[in-house]
């Protein structure tokens, strides 16, 4: 019996119904971004249930304990507002948990009530609840609009609004806003900038926060995260590279308008061409040469692409996940000579279809693209039932469709609840593209091994 046996292939128009959404709620992203600040405790201004969900969503994906505080709304706060809860919460957090920063995000309920967070924080200051040298920042994350990606972008923009400062110091550093990527990707972006010889501020930075070593010690605040000093210094940098139009562009724009730091808006560097564009933008902006180490990495990727191309040629692939990832992934799949035919993201945004089509350069005329509230896993499954694909690249929720349709799943994106590796091995840059390519090839070739007629099983492939 199939798990999704009620999915039918006939697509009927629907406006007010989402079935198995391809996104999650805003505060999950805000909490993830806040964890990328050194010694920061995220604070969820809403009910305990919201906070528990957001923490568990992140804990299950990153396989690390995620700490966060909550305003613990009950019926009283729902009627009279959550000011008293937040005041008490901030006072207690600094007394008991001693973070350097508390990053408050709102929830559906506190947004509907209309709680004014800056006013409550200023009251905290008046009452002396925020110790000298400590900070409270905030962003609004009403979850009835946008998605987890919007929440991430809002918190990163909040970091700029509260902290970035221009002091007229000589600009010698470069900002990288990595977007919602894995801790491993953030580590890889820092490595790439290091190989290019540039002093970089990456923010937020969840490496060494959500991919920590097991050393027998238990630190409430891990070593990683962008420091407050560095967040302030982003206003003095020579340029910003904002990776991903959905997750990073708003913060890049805010930084440019607040501190005058010129910003290059780029795709996430996933795949050959997007990485080329990233490296080239850094090269031209900083006026540097690309070192041989990177040229060789690129060359190895191109070598594997051309060696193994025959296994991927014409393979139909469905992509589901977050828009910044999908824009770059669709281009990479087409560059591998695959056919990205279905592309689905639950995150709204008018530019999505345009951006994907632009990267595909009319190479995939049959592509179907959907995003927003009605772009869900049910629609994706219906498309696959109408005309099958050879694989899906997406998060863990795709496994039900893959099981029903007997197609491989290459896990990528958020959340991945049933495997490890995503937070440890990057998929950005040339090395990341090689890992992605290896995973795609492994899935395709394993299926061929298992399903070929006996006389056609090849030892050497």
Residues that bind ligand SF4 (CB under 6 A): 25, 27, 46, 50, 53, 107-108, 143
Q: First vs last Cα of the chain: how many Å apart? A: 34
Q: How far is the CB of 123 from ligand SF4 (least distance, A)?
A: 24
Q: Which residue, 56 or 92, has its beta carbon nearer to ligand SF4? A: 56
Residue 200 dihedral angles phi and psi, to the nearest 5°:
-120, 145
Least CB distance from residue 91 to ligand SF4, whole Å?
A: 24
423 and 60 Cβ atoms separated by less than 8 Å: no
Using DSSP's 3-state secondary structure scheme, residue 351 falls into helix
Smaller CB distance to ligand SF4: residue 143 or 275? 143
CB 118 within 8 A of CB 138: yes
Please name the residues in contact with 365: beta carbons below 8 A apart, sequence gap of 6 or more.
Answer: none
Closest CB to ligand SF4 among residues 25, 58? 25
Q: What is the dihedral of CA 326, 327, 328, 331, to 10 degrees?
A: 110
| Whole-number Å distance between alpha carbons of 72 and 321 | 31
Shortest approach of ligand SF4 to residue 151 CB, angstroms?
Answer: 9
The secondary element (H helix, E strand) that includes residue 161 is helix 148-163
The Cβ of residue 66 has, within 10 Å, a number of other Cβ atoms equal to 19
Residues 6 or more apart in contact with residue 103 via CB below 8 angstroms: 30, 33, 34, 37, 40, 41, 42, 43, 136, 137, 138, 139, 155, 158
For ligand SF4, give the closer residue by CB, 51 or 317. 51
Give the residue with the Cβ less far from ligand SF4, 115 or 188: 115
Residue listed under structure tokens 């927003």? 372
In the bound state with ligand SF4, the residue whose beta carbon lies nearer, of 71 and 164, is: 71
What is the smallest separation between the CB atom of 313 and ligand SF4, expressed in angstroms? 42
Of 143 and 382, the one with the shorter C-beta distance to ligand SF4 is 143
Nearest residue (CB) to ligand SF4, 78 versus 165: 78
368: tokens are 């179907």
Transcribe 43-68 into DSSP letters: EEES-HHHHHHHHHHHHHHHSS----
- Closest approach, Cβ 257 to ligand SF4, in A, equals 29
b/e per residue 236-269 (b: at least 16 CB within 10 A): bbbbbbbbbbbbbbbbbbbbbeebebebbbbbbb
Q: Give least dist CB 430 to ligand SF4, A.
A: 37
Q: Are 62 and 32 in contact (CB under 8 A)?
A: no
Q: By the 8 A CB rule, do 48 and 75 touch?
A: no
Tell the smallest beta-carbon distance from residue 148 to ligand SF4 (Å). Answer: 9
Q: Of 28 and 266, which has the nearer Cβ to ligand SF4?
A: 28
Judged by beta carbon, residue 46 or residue 222, the one nearer ligand SF4 is 46
**Which contacts qualify for 402-405: CB closer than 8 Å, 24 or more apart?**
403/2, 403/3, 404/2, 404/3, 404/4, 404/5, 404/7, 405/381
Q: How near is the Cβ of 266 to ligand SF4 at its closest, in Å? A: 30
Burial level of 278, CB count in 10 A (0-12/13-18/19+)? buried
Least gap, CB of 212 to ligand SF4 (angstroms): 26
Structure tokens at 58: 């992140």
Cα 454 from Cα 404, distance rounded (Å): 25
CB of 142 to ligand SF4, least distance (A): 8
Closest distance of CB 66 from ligand SF4, Å? 15
- Quick one: three-class SS letters along 86-109? HHHHHHHHHHHCCCCEEEEEECHH
Q: Which is nearer to ligand SF4, 111 or 254 (CB)?
A: 111
């Amino acid at each position: 019996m199939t798990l999704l046996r009620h999915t039918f292939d006939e697509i009927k128009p629907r406006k007010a119904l989402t079935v198995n959404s391809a996104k999650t709620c805003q505060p999950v992203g805000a909490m993830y971004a806040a964890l990328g600040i050194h010694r920061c405790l995220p604070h969820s201004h809403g009910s305990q249930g919201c906070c528990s969900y957001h923490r568990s969503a992140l804990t299950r994906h990153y396989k690390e304990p995620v700490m966060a505080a909550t305003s613990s709304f009950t019926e009283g706060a729902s009627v009279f507002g959550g000011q008293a809860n937040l005041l008490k919460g901030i006072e207690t957090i600094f007394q008991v948990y001693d973070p350097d920063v508390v990053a408050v995000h709102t929830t559906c309920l506190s947004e509907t009530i209309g709680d004014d967070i800056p006013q409550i924080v200023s009251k905290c200051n008046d009452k002396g609840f925020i110790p000298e040298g400590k900070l409270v920042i905030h962003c609004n994350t009403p979850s009835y609009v946008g998605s987890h990606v919007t929440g991430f972008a809002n918190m990163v923009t909040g970091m700029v609004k509260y902290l970035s400062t221009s002091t007229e110091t000589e600009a010698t550093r470069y900002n990288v806003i990595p977007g919602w990527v894995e801790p491993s990707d953030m580590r890889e972006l820092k490595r790439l900038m290091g190989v290019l010889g540039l002093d970089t501020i990456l923010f937020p930075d969840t490496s060494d926060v959500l991919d920590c070593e097991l050393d027998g010690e238990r630190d409430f605040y891990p070593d990683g995260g962008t420091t407050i000093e560095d967040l302030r210094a982003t206003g003095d940098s020579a340029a910003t590279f904002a990776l991903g139009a959905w997750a990073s562009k708003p913060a890049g724009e805010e930084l440019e308008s607040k501190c005058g730091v010129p910003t290059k808006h780029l795709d996430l560097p996933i795949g050959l061409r997007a990485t080329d564009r990233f490296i080239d933008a850094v090269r031209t902006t900083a006026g540097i040469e690309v070192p041989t180490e990177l040229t060789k990495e690129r060359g190895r990727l191109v070598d594997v692409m051309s060696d193994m191309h025959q296994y991927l040629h014409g393979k139909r692939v469905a992509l589901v996940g977050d828009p910044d990832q999908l824009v770059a992934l669709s281009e990479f799949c087409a560059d591998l000579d695959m056919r990205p035919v279905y592309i689905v993201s639950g995150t709204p945004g008018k530019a999505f279809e345009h951006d994907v089509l632009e990267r595909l350069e009319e190479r995939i005329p049959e592509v179907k693209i959907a995003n927003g509230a009605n772009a869900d896993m049910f629609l994706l499954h219906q498309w696959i039932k109408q005309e099958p694909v050879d694989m899906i690249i997406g998060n863990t929720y795709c496994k039900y469709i893959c099981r029903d349709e007997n197609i491989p799943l290459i896990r990528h994106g958020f959340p991945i609840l049933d495997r490890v590796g995503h937070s440890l091995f990057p998929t950005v840059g040339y090395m990341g593209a090689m890992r992605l390519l290896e995973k795609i090839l492994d899935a395709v070739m394993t299926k061929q091994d298992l399903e070929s007629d006996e006389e056609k099983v090849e030892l050497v492939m």
